[in-house]
Amino acid sequence: MSYRLNLLASVLLTTCAGLAVAQTPTPAAATPKPAAVPVPGAIAAPMPPPPSLDAKSWVLMDYATGQILASSNPDERVEPASITKIMTSYVVSAELAAGKVKPDDQVFISENAWRGGGAGTDGSTSFLALNSKVKLHDLLMGMIVQSGNDSAIALAEHLAGSEAVFADLMNEYAKRLGLKDTHFVNASGLSAPDHYTTAHDIASLSRALIRDFPEDYKIYAIKEFEWNGIKQHNRNALLWRDASVDGIKTGHHSAAGYCLTASAKRDDERLITVVMGTKGEKVRADMTQELLNYGFRFYETHKLYSADKPVAEPTLWKGQADTIQLGVSEDVLVTLPRGRYGDLKAAMDVPGRFVAPFSKGQSVGTLRISLDGKPLLERPIVALQEYPEGGFMHRLGDGILLWFKSDEAIQPSKQPDTK
């Protein structure tokens, strides 16, 4: 505080002598740099275009950031077929987590479930026995591993009383997850006029499933499941082909074509792919493999800033503390082409001066990251602690000083980069 007292005394003396002229504050643009400097002499690898796929739509997404790395018709509405069951399993996992149902619940197999939704064609089954009772966990296995329509419908009826009401529940969860172009009318994925989604929405849903229910997600990596004396294999061929693949779901019927949503993790990087409307089982697997190989080869993820660590610590006026710690409430990750880390541009839009009070977590500005002039992400800049007002005399003194102080040029502190 002594430097402020000395500064205040100097200001008062020069003011009394008539030598001081009040300055008009000039807004200061704060421009942080990415957290680490790339290795000198590193040369960015050439960036080829993504594969050209013969599919209605497709998406390559980075799991950590949710960034779309490459896509074709990502927001075109398509029929999802059995990929619908990703949402069915998400709802079941959410209800299990909330304690509304239990894994050992005995689920009644109705005639509607037994008939697989009354279809009999263009569908798959777990071969559940009519009027039997099956543990909820076994039905979840049958729906995910065997893609059983009967398992999906039985789960829907157990959780919501009817499949139609369960579809309403699916749509409510879709809204919560921000799926903008998705609507369900059944739990299994059978073709229906108002049953649709997009490759982008399915990628977002898959990301939410992995993030929110990692233990239940492990079921998607299981290669086979036996029920009622019948062993069936998981239709995701990549589980046998690529050890890094641990999900997610296939889909097929005549209107949807052959679809596959997959996720793979190599080292610390995870990618999600969605390929909709291809012409065959092998084609959808080959196309998905192409996308995964492309993504892992040409993209990388970096942590730019860590949650709850100071990014900048500018002067705080009229507060009990002399400075205010600014940061982000969540880790700031970014995915970009390999070798382009040094080309990232960061800008932090914050005020040129900070005047107490501030509450912990209060948003005070925006961190913006861009590459080649294109925005990659934005994150709120927040106060990391509680910063109450100082005493009356301190506020009075700072109030006088602020008349003579220019806005501060705020630069962030560097944090170690982590891939």
Task: State residue 30 phi and psi, 5-degree precision.
Answer: -95, 125
Query: Whole-angstrom Cα distance, residue 97 to residue 94?
Result: 5
Q: Which amino acid is at 374?
A: K
Query: Whole-angstrom Cα distance, residue 391 to residue 402?
Result: 16
Task: State residue 179 phi and psi, 5-degree precision.
Answer: -80, 110
Query: Whole-angstrom Cα distance, residue 310 to residue 381?
Result: 10
Whole-number Cα distances in Å, 207 to 94, 245, 299, 310, 404: 15, 14, 18, 29, 52
Is 82 designated active site?
Answer: yes
Q: Which one is catalytic: 85, 93, 206, 303?
A: 85
Contact, 380 vs 325, CB < 8 A? no
N-term to C-term CA, the chain: 41
Give 48's contacts (C-beta < 8 A, 6+ positions apart): 298
In the beta sheet, which residues pair with residue 106? 135
Q: Which one is catalytic: 57, 71, 82, 110?
A: 82
Q: Which one is catalytic: 89, 147, 188, 206?
A: 147
- Cα dihedral value 356, 362, 366, 367, nearest 10: 100
Could you tell me the two tokens for 392? 């009356």
Q: Which amino acid is at 345?
A: K
Residue with tokens 């990301």: 207
In the beta sheet, which residues pair with residue 108? 133
Q: Is 56 annotated as a binding residue?
A: no
Query: Whole-angstrom Cα distance, residue 110 to residue 162?
Result: 10
Query: Whole-angstrom Cα distance, residue 369 to residue 220?
Result: 34
Q: What is the largest CA-CA distance in the chain?
A: 99
Query: Whole-angstrom Cα distance, residue 149 to residue 142?
Result: 9
CA angle 16, 21, 22 (to 5 degrees): 110
CB atoms within 10 A of CB 105: 16
Residues recognised as catalytic: 82, 85, 147
Annotated binding site: 249
Annotated binding site for substrate: 249
